[in-house]
Structure 1
Amino acid sequence: MIILKNATVVDFSPATVQAGLDIVISGSKIIAVGRSVAANYQADRILDMKGALVMPGLVCSHNHFYSGLARGITAKIPPSPDFISMLKNLWWRLDVAIDEEVLYYSAMICALEAIRAGTTTVIDHHASPSFIKGSLRVLKQAFEEVGLRGITCYETTDRNGGMQEVETCIQENIDFATLCDADKKNKGDDYLVEAMIGGHAPMTMTDPALKLMAKAVWETRRGVHIHVAEDRYDVSHSHHIYGKDVMVRLNDFGLINDKSLLVHGVYLSDQDIAIINDHDAFLAHNARSNMNNHVGYSNKLSMYKNLVLGTDGMGSDMFEEMKFAFFKHKDMGGPLWPDTYLQFLYKGNELVSRYFSAQFGRVAPGYKADLTVLDYQSPTPLTAENIGGHIAFGLNSRDVTTVIINGQVILENRQFPFDVSAIYAKTQRISQDLWDKMDVFM
């Protein structure tokens, strides 16, 4: 049992700020929250918060841990004037160069940095065409070694090997979902990693591929995790080849359910959005990535029933992501305020809850003890009405001091319980080898 004494508890939905509370954690869950409740329990550890903020752990609702070693890349990247050329010249050369060692260390670095930023769950979307079978197990290993909660999948595509590649991708997703089912059966509420059924994007998946993907969704009782309408090309391709809007095509195969995660959606039509909402599915908005790839901006974010925030591989700092998402919205003349973006940030917990069959996203009894502690010296009052404003204009991942995931202290006083220097030393060496290998695939 762990007790956090004298905490300032911040919840996002409904928004509340309450000072002087104790938080009692037993196993992987919070069992009590209130003033002086610590006196009623005998704890193994008591951590004095001294008034520090304690809030629900943050969720990165779309990421690519395979891109962790791309930072500062010096591989020879030809001019890439549009989104498709950027995919071909950079990202599809990177993913094909990834082997088991690179994936493991890339995932380890990404997991460490997520936790340092106060992110307790990452929903990952993976690709490594030269290492498909067993790749998701490697990601699971990294999540568990660091202590990060995660959901991952393999992005099914036919762009490298036709239907044979599709079948291998689908099987990797099914095998991993089966592994996660066994994990849940053996560990109960304490398991850390879940599975989705991944697809790259409709433009790299034929109808037979979508049919197989739908079968996997039905067999595993999961949802799809797939990019849609990130660029105009995806929409044009769907209209040209199939005569349908992107989401209509996916829905025709029965691919959309209440565990589905559609990503980007910059160019989705009103009909597409209605399909997502009708199935109670989720749309992940990735502001920084969209800006970096110059794909455009959606002015329809408020139309989604379930909008969540992701990074699309640009780290896992969700404080930073929320700031970018809000300021880009304002730059485009949008009417929304920070409190709406706070709800977008919070909403990822609902998706995580559907996969782990548990409660996430509040500092309250019965909820999972996935918590972020921050030493935030606010120059102005912090109230229920202005939490979003504090995140948009002040509070930052640099304020994170301690992170608890599944009832375990993973980061304490900004330190991990194990030496991370050897991991970073290793990635310094293998990242250059990865970049050199990419040049072979020019």
Structure 2
Amino acid sequence: MLLLTNAKILTFDENMTIIEDGAIFIENGTIKDIGNTEELEMKYPDAVFKNVKNKIVMPGLINTHTHLYSTFARGMDLKDKPPSNFVEILKKLWWRLDNTLNEKDIYYSALFAICECIRNGVTTIFDHHASYNYIDGSLDIIADAVKRCGIRANLSYEISDRHGKEKSQAAIKENERFIRKVQLIKNSHLKGLIGLHASFTLEDETLKTVSELSQELNIPIHVHVAEGIQDYQDSVKRGYNGVIDRLNRFNILNPGSLLVHGVHIQKEEIDALKRSGSYLIHNPESNMNNAVGASPIKSFIENNIVTGLGTDAYTHDMFESIKMANLLYKHESKDPRVGWNEVYDMAFINNKKIASRFFDKKLGSIEKGLPADLIVVDYSSPTPIEKENVFAHILFGMNGSMVQTVLVDGKILMDNREVTFLDYEQLRRKTQKQARDFWKRF
């Protein structure tokens, strides 16, 4: 039994309730009671009291698209001329990287990245993995890192024909094997989706096979969609109206599928996207970094397409992604009035909806009966924090480095900026050593 006391609680419930001098009573991983500190201290005298000293307590953040395998890319020499467009970025960096990863690389890349998520207040992630030098069992390696760290993670393997049919078939089998495994063990922290890279690296036969597997397992797809203009152009060359049209013809766009990026989705495809019941995941920083353009977020929102927010592993700090999504929306719209409600909905309503669907329990809120996935943020505001201005404080005041304490299912994963389940400095040293070995092989 744990009692967090003396907190300013931002519940992110339907009414955006704020509790001053609040306390949260946690038992068996669940929020059992919320209220005034003095009252709950008297009500639960046998609990372990943890005084958070007037800091902010809010739900753990959710990242609906990331790549844990990308850790070793930071600071790496490509040993080649700098890529000048999106396809060159894929060929010179990411496809070489994923074709170099070995078992040890996968583990340390994932373990360190998950720790970075925790250190930035992210408690739930949707990961999209590729390691074409090591396919079979690769998702189990990541799952081991997830279990060690204690977060919630939905994992998928990125199926692609770019390395040939034999490897794409192995990738399909890896998704199927892992999904059947997690369905059997029913771990509330570990789930799976069927991963696809992007339409322009997939043949029709592969899409047909994946569609049949999706229906058999009753599991949606996690796929990159129209990130670069080349994806759209490839679909047109194959005789389709665009990426959405092609994927829709193969029943890839099912309710709950995660369509990532969507930068070059065409206006005439929006209606089909809306009817599909799929989710669109926006990754603003990655799109700008790759110079692929900006997603037509306004069109998605106007057509009631549920749009979530991810990072594409450009960062593990969702506060940073939230800020950039707001700025990009304003910049593209040339209107300083927009972005407020839209980005708030992406991060704190739609991400919650998406995660809650796949983890079979409501996440992203502080309410009685919900999992105790909480973060304590050391944010000292010069102005009042009220329900009408919470998002403004997040945009202009908070960042991931302010996160002091992180709990998932009531278990403390980080306290006073120190992760509790491993020696972080030792992990950093081991990861750097592994990175140097990886760079030699790259």
Q: Greater shift after overlay, 37-46 or 130-139?
A: 37-46
Aligned runs of 1:348-387 on 2, under 5 Å?
348-387=351-390
Distance 1:345 1:63, change over 3 A: same
**Cross-structure match for 1:309:** 309
Counterpart position of 1:56:
59
Q: Give the aligned partner of residue 171 of structure 2.
A: 169
Cα offset for 1:151? 0.6
Give the whole-Å Cα distance in 2 for the aligned partners of 1:101 and 1:241. Answer: 39
- Partner of 1:11 in structure 2? 11
The answer as to 2:84 corresponding to 1:81 is yes
Q: SS in structure 2 opposite 1:12?
A: coil
CA distance in 2 between partners of 1:406 and 1:193 (Å): 13
Give the superposition deviation at 1:216.
Answer: 1.9
In the alignment, the residues of structure 1 paired with residue 41 and residue 217 of structure 2 have an alpha-carbon distance, to the nearest angstrom, of: 42
| 1:41 aligned residue | 44
Please name the residue that 2:119 is paired with.
Answer: 116
Question: 1:413 corresponds to which letter in structure 2?
Answer: N
Call closer, same or farther: CA 1:320–1:300 in 2, change over 3 Å. Answer: closer
The one-letter amino acid of 2:266's match is S
The answer (yes or no) to whether the contact 1:339–1:387 under 8 Å persists in 2 is no
| Greater Cα offset, 368-377 or 324-333 | 324-333
The alpha-carbon deviation at position 328 of structure 1 amounts to: 1.6
1:377: Cα distance to partner? Answer: 0.3
Residue type of the alignment partner of 1:32: D
Deviates more, 1:47-56 or 1:116-125: 47-56
Structure 2, unaligned stretches of length 5 or more?
Answer: none
Match of 1:341 in 2: 343
Q: SS at 1:154's partner residue?
A: strand
CA distance in 2, matches of 1:13, 1:85: 44
Q: Residue 8 of structure 1 contacts residue 53 of structure 1 at CA under 8 Å; is this kept in 2?
A: yes
1:371-430 alpha-carbon deviations (Å, 9 max, x no partner):
111111001111111111111111111211000012211111111123122211111112
Residues 271-292 of structure 1 deviation map (CA, whole Å, 9 limit, x = unaligned): 4333333233211111110111
| 1:156–1:169 CA contact under 8 A, matched in 2 | yes
CA–CA distance in 1 between the matches of 2:93 and 2:61?
29
The letter of the residue matching 1:241 is R
Of 74-83 and 353-362, more deviation after overlay is shown by 74-83
Aligned to 1:25, the other structure's residue is in SS state strand
Give 1:42-441 correspondences, 5 Å limit. 43-162=46-165, 164-184=166-186, 191-301=188-298, 302-303=301-302, 304-332=304-332, 333-334=334-335, 335-346=337-348, 347-417=350-420, 418-438=422-442
Q: Distance in 2 between matches of 1:246 and 1:91?
A: 21
CA distance in 1, matches of 2:155, 2:12: 25
Q: How far, CA to CA, are the matches of 2:179 and 2:362 in structure 1?
A: 21
Secondary structure, aligned partner of 2:87: helix
CA RMSD of aligned residues (A): 1.6
Cα shift at 1:95: 0.7
Contact 2:11 2:367 in 1 (8 A): no
CA deviation after TM superposition for structure 1 residue 436, in Å: 2.0
SS in 2 for 1:372: strand
* 1:12–1:342 contact (8 Å) kept in structure 2: no
Q: For residue 13 of structure 1, report the CA deviation from its aligned partner.
A: 5.0
Q: Is this contact kept in 1: 2:9–2:19, CA < 8 A?
A: yes
**Aligned pairs, how many?**
432
1:106-161 CA-to-partner distances (Å, cap 9, x unmatched) read: 00110000000000011100000010100000111111101121111000001001
**Mapped partners of 2:269, 2:22: distance in 1:** 45
Residues 6 and 54 of structure 2 are in contact (CA less than 8 Å); yes or no, is this contact kept in structure 1? yes
Measured in 1, the distance between the counterparts of 2:236 and 2:3 equals 57
CA positional deviation for 1:42: 5.4
State the alpha-carbon separation in 1 of the partners of residues 199 and 50 from structure 2: 49
> Which shifted more, 168-177 or 9-18?
9-18
Q: Which amino acid aligns with 2:391?
A: G
Contact 1:338 1:392 in 2 (8 A): no
Which residue of structure 2 lines up, in the alignment, with residue 31 of structure 1? 32
Give me the identity figure in percent. 36
Letter in 1 for 2:425: S
* C-alpha deviation, 1:45, in angstroms: 2.2
Measure the CA separation in 2 of the matches of 1:17 and 1:271: 43
| C-alpha spacing 1:43/1:277, structure 2 compared with 1 (3 Å) | farther
Q: Distance in 1 between matches of 2:244 and 2:26?
A: 42
Residue 68 of structure 1 aligns to a residue whose secondary structure is helix
Give the SS at the match of 2:54: coil
Q: Work out the CA distance in 1 between the residues paired with 2:61 and 2:80.
A: 34
Give CA-to-partner distance per residue, 1:224-275, whole Å, 9 cap, x none: 0000000111011001113232112212222222321000000112343333
